[in-house]
Amino acid sequence: MIYLDNAGTTPMFEGAVEEYKKYACDVFYNPSAGYGEAIKVSSELGAARKVLLDKLGAVKGDVIFTSGATESNNLAIQGSERSGKWEYVFSAGEHPSVNSTANNLLQKGHIVHFVPLGKDGQIDYNKLEKVLNEKTRLISLIHVSNETGAINDIKRVSSIRDRLAPKALLHVDGVQAFCKIPFSVEDLGADLYTISAHKFHGPKGVGALYVKNRNGLKNIVFGGGQESGLRSGTENVAGIMAMKWAVQHIDTKANLAKVQSLKKAFLNELEGDCRIKALEFGSPYIISLSFMGVKGETLMRAVENEVIIGTGSACSTRYAGNRILEQLIPHDLITSSVRVSFNAYLTEEDVVRAGQVLKCAFKNLLEKV
């Protein structure tokens, strides 16, 4: 089986599994307890924060551990909410966990702006400038699109923010960027940055939110005051330590070069057929492909015994349509689209074979149509 839905989730590193088992079964103590073994665990959580801060390229700030990207995004957005006539800005290309939270702000009576995408899949920077002002409280923007791989220029956005809305916080959903493309939050100018462990070979159910300044954020979960008071609840120590292990064993630059090579080999297998259209917008980890004349879901089902691909965000498969692709390509291409996403531990033989399987299945389905 060749797995090409890595934007949905990734297989855990075996070393991360061992680390998880260690802290779930042997070093299982509650870090909030007062005895010696628990205090040691609390100290190890502090070391894990330092590893994440270093990987994020943070000069200052905190890491707040969460249950994953959805909670981190909600904490960033809802935690930034303030009473009064503040305005909130999002791109029209956000993950459901951001888009739904933005719509919740709208329902509560806040002024919310949704900035459309350009044809390159990035936010329309000119239109972004038109909605920013001194009342802007938060700008929330995905770093790498989970649908198309388009990379937003966060540094450009932070520069626009500094000029037009200096009081605004900049939140970045970095789920498809962290440990995949080189960056530093310091260079980007981000105030808040979301990561999720299962997107880079860590466990599901754990993630983090980078917070540059805790004073700009309020808690949305109430309880014992863990995580500097911003996220109450006993920390998922086993998940956090497995996430730390994964981060420490990823060479982002080397992996990026490997995936670029894998993507090229994969697309070479699909060349020569004008009915196959590829959206290539930035990150080599994600490609949106349209197999014209065949429904994307039909193709996905046809190959799933040999190759696993996706039809878009796994968090929105229960909803019809694709609000992100609708801004970029015609409707007939959307219905025939699939998402292919790589990891750096695949081989060239894997992706070449996957391309062959997809092309063969596509031809067979067209004949039946």
d(CA 104, CA 308): 34
d(CA 69, CA 298): 29
Angle between the 348-368 and 252-270 helix axes, to the nearest 10 degrees?
A: 30
- Give catalytic status of residue 315 as yes or no: yes
CA distances from 129 to 102, 116, 120, 132, 213 (A): 19, 12, 18, 6, 25
The encoded tokens of residue 31 equal 């870090």
Rg (CA), the chain: 21
* 3-state secondary structure string across 189-231: CCCEEEEEHHHCCCCCCCEEEEECCHHHCCCCCCCCCCHHHCC
d(CA 78, CA 231): 12
d(CA 177, CA 186): 15
d(CA 292, CA 295): 8
Beta-bridge partner residues of 171: 140, 192
d(CA 69, CA 75): 10
**Cβ neighbourhood burial of 368 (10 Å; 0-12, 13-18, 19+):** exposed
The residue written with tokens 């297998």 in the block is: 269
From the candidates 179, 274, 315, 360, which is the catalytic residue? 315
Q: How many CB atoms lie within 10 A of CB 347?
A: 12
What residues contact 61, with CB distance under 8 A and at least 6 apart? 53, 185, 210, 211, 212, 213
d(CA 291, CA 259): 22
The encoded tokens of residue 237 equal 């120590």
- Which residues form the catalytic set? 315
